[in-house]
Amino acid sequence: MFEVFSRSYYLGRLYVAPIDGERALMHSEQHERLNEEMYATGDGLERLDTPLVMKLESRHFPVHGADDIPTNTLALPESMLEGLDVRNPPSLREVFLARRERARQLLSFIGGLPDADTTPFSDGSSTAGT
């Protein structure tokens, strides 16, 4: 679904669709699988519910899992779609997925974790001081 694009991102294609709500979402099983493949280190027990960080055009979004979102879809609240060139949704778009280290850095900036000082990231560290 995603392939290496650069040192900071993977590139993939997802349908982008508007939803009601406050958070960017994707299907929970896909979210967990991507979390395991892209963010997990393979060392011990790791969280697979850490938000993924995706980029559409110039905007980054912490993306959470939800069972009611269709697979291969990035569901964005209307407020997050403002200013983006998404026409006739659902629209198939190129989406960037931040690599693990870049995601940690971005989550500390965009406040994607409920408690950025104590919530562990996939490698067991916290986002504090990153």
pLDDT band for position 116 (cuts 50, 70, 90): very low
Paired with 12 in beta bridges are: 2, 95
Residue 44 has pLDDT above 60, yes or no: no
pLDDT for 43: 66
In which band, very low, low, confident or very high, does the pLDDT at 110 lie, cut at 50, 70 and 90? low
Q: Is 33 helix (H, G, I), strand (E, B) or coil?
A: helix
The one-letter amino acid at 19? I
The string of pLDDT tens digits covering residues 71-98 is 999 999 988 888 888 888 888 999 999 9
Q: Is 70 exceeded by the pLDDT of residue 28?
A: yes
Residue among 15, 17, 34 at smallest CA distance from 93: 15
Which candidate, 91, 122, 92, 87, places its Cα nearest to that of 107? 122
